[in-house]
Structure 1
Amino acid sequence: MDRRAFTLTAVALSLGLAASASAQTGEISFGIISTESSQNLKQAWQPLLEDMSRRTGLKINAFFAPDYAGIIEGMRFNKVHLAWMGNKSAMEAVDRSGAEVFAQTVSVDGSMGYYSLLVTHKDSPLNSLEDVIRQRQGLTLGFGDPNSTSGTLVPGYYAFQQHKVDPLKDFKRVVRANHETNLLAAASRQVDVATNNNEAIERLNLTNPAKAKDIKVIWKSPLIPSDPLVWRADLDPAVKARLREFLLGYGKQDAREQAILKVIGFAGFKASSNAQLLPIRQLELARERNRVENDSSLSAEDKQKKLQEIDARLAELQKLVASAR
């Protein structure tokens, strides 16, 4: 191992050991995905985090990153112990960062899910997904973070892949941004169409109602499971118990807590598990199957072998979905 590689490994290890020590001595880093600016997110989440610190006796520190990958990697190196994520980023954290789902959000309207959307300016001539597909070569698309469920994974499959469209190649231009930025870009006509979700629009109605009025929804996905909360699986069981008790009880009775949750966009939290990620895993495999099917560099034999492997994994996932119902 060369000196630079050794140094990088040592730094990562020391960061992990320091973060692990913090978690065991009562200091928790709470990761928050970048759905909008860190300043806005901090303002919305800070009252809940302060309540969490006071009620659990743990020091709760907010952890922000410029993209979803930053939260996933933060958890992998034990710099993040607990996080609010989307389903796609949670799946990555479970697979790569030693995370597990323990709760999920409940929407303000009480529903257990939300919808991916395609949005445009209210006066745009685009009025449907079919309009977007037909005119895509002349359109600028506002696309989500690569690890976003509603900004990339779901519209990538349901809106584009099922219509044999590659969003990264078939539009005139693609701009990646968080939900808030994509909404503002659509409202300001900086992009022709953008991916988003209904919860982000509800949030924009609170933070910037004038811009929210300039948004038009032209496509809605099937229901997506509500966002999960994840923690490192190796977190101290006593710490997990305190965090679980606080979060699952938060906003159940207290009007002040309910008001805090409403600003974030939630009505509360309910218990969950890694099982809620199964539909997202099915979507990912379906996308992979499509890529393999259209890969002209593969021989017929190799392609058939890969497709059989994917189909076997899809069949196994279907059994898990059925047993989880």
Structure 2
Amino acid sequence: MSADSLRFTTSGGRRDGSQAVWRALATVLLAVACQAGAWAQGGSAAPVPLRFGILPLGGAFESRNDWDPVLADLSRAVGRPIRVLSVTSYEALEQAIQRNEVDMAFLSGRMALDAVTQRGMRVVAQVTRHDGLPGYRALLLTRKTGPFTTLKGLLAEPERWRLARGESRSVSGFIVPQLQLFLPNHIAMETRFLSEVVGTHQFTALAVANGEADVATNNSADFERFRLQFPAEAARLQVIWESDIIPHAQIVVRRDDPPEFRRKVQAFLVDYARSAGPRGDTERGYLKALHDLAGFVAADNSSLLPAATLAYQLAKQNANTAQWVNEAAKQARLQRIESSYAEQREALRAER
């Protein structure tokens, strides 16, 4: 519609009054009509979907199915549809976060730490499990029978073993085993083994169970789940090493989301599966299927301090075992690590 298309005439059909006056009036009416249309369109527009990123703990399809009932309840609570991003690797999820394609996510320590300190996210909750422990443990798995079955043999001759491990951003699949076991024994996971394959915890356990690898990194929570899903394969495996406790994963949202939205999400998570009766029983069933979760507790960025400490310890251990052109270069690197860690801790404590 244009101003020229709005023509005003007298009852006799003759154009009346100044042409300039009619054009001005037509322009005003056109603006009012357009604004009314915009209001009507805005009032009927569907809410923008909330994009939820899922850490790939099992298969991508399996992870999505496990989360669907909980996210359906969250969608009703916040009044927005939810679009799930279920990926096959940590790297794919990290890239999606970098491209601002994720509004909310379920992330473990290092991934959550990077999302908060580098990608504009904020912690709102942390998961809890039925065992009541504040976290889980990294594991090493081997077959119960065969030539490669003991931790002593692994540490003595890693170059004879085929390794199945998690991605470098995986806390239990890479960071903790590297930090607490391999580097103290002068073994770099990336270079010392006969071969390596990289994948999810389910993938690494299956690789060892099926004879495609000799040792796998894993964790206590996912191995419990693996026993239920693959009992025959799990029966072939044994644990030869376990780590110290690793803090549970976090739920993060974008920092620039309105405070009211963050409070609504946090309230939903904290209350979820807490009520008595059929509704609570149903919600508890959803969480039980979802990596055996018991619920969520309110949390802030300071819950990532243990993850920051792990990352700092790994960086320091790598620096101390690396080859340097001179001592000055090594000390400069160590000083940068110390400064970065101090800044990170301060930032995590500040935003509570």
The TM-score range, normalised by the shorter chain, is 0.7 to 0.9
SS class of match (2:132): coil
Equivalences for 1:167-316 in 2 at 5 Å?
Answer: 167-253=189-275, 254-265=280-291, 266-311=293-338
In structure 2, list runs of 5 or more residues that go unmatched: 1-45
Match of 1:162? 184
Q: Check whether the contact 2:304–2:348 (CA below 8 A) recurs between aligned residues.
A: no
Deviant stretches of 4+, over 6 Å: 315-323
Which residue identity does 2:211 align to in structure 1? R
Cα distance per residue 1:132-157 (max 9 Å; x no partner): 11131100011101211110111111
Q: Percent same amino acid at aligned positions?
A: 30
Match of 2:50? 28
Change in CA separation of 1:284 and 1:119 when aligned onto 2, cut-off 3 Å: same
Match of 1:66? 88
1:72 Cα deviation after fit:
2.2
Match of 1:43? 65
CA RMSD, aligned part only?
2.5
Q: Check whether the contact 1:126–1:218 (CA below 8 A) recurs between aligned residues.
A: no
Report whether the alignment pairs 1:103 with 2:140: no
In structure 1, list runs of 5 or more residues that go unmatched: 1-23
CA distance in 2, matches of 1:321, 1:154: 21
Which residue identity does 2:203 align to in structure 1? T
Which residue identity does 1:299 align to in structure 2? N
1:95 Cα deviation after fit:
2.5
Most deviating of 93-102 and 305-314:
305-314
SS class of match (1:222): strand
TM-score by length of 2: 0.79
CA distance in 2, matches of 1:208, 1:35: 15
Q: Check whether the contact 2:89–2:199 (CA below 8 A) recurs between aligned residues.
A: no
1:128 Cα deviation after fit:
4.2
CA distance in 2, matches of 1:144, 1:317: 25
- From 112, 115, 121, the equivalent of 2:143 is 121
SS class of match (1:220): strand
Which residue identity does 2:167 align to in structure 1? D
Change in CA separation of 1:249 and 1:320 when aligned onto 2, cut-off 3 Å: same
- Structure 1 or 2, whichever has the larger Rg, is 2
Cα distance per residue 1:219-259 (max 9 Å; x no partner): 00000001111111112222222211111111112111111
Which residue identity does 2:298 align to in structure 1? A
TM-score by length of 1: 0.85
Q: Check whether the contact 2:161–2:193 (CA below 8 A) recurs between aligned residues.
A: yes
CA distance in 1, matches of 2:288, 2:81: 24
CA distance in 2, matches of 1:62, 1:322: 30
CA distance in 2, matches of 1:257, 1:215: 32
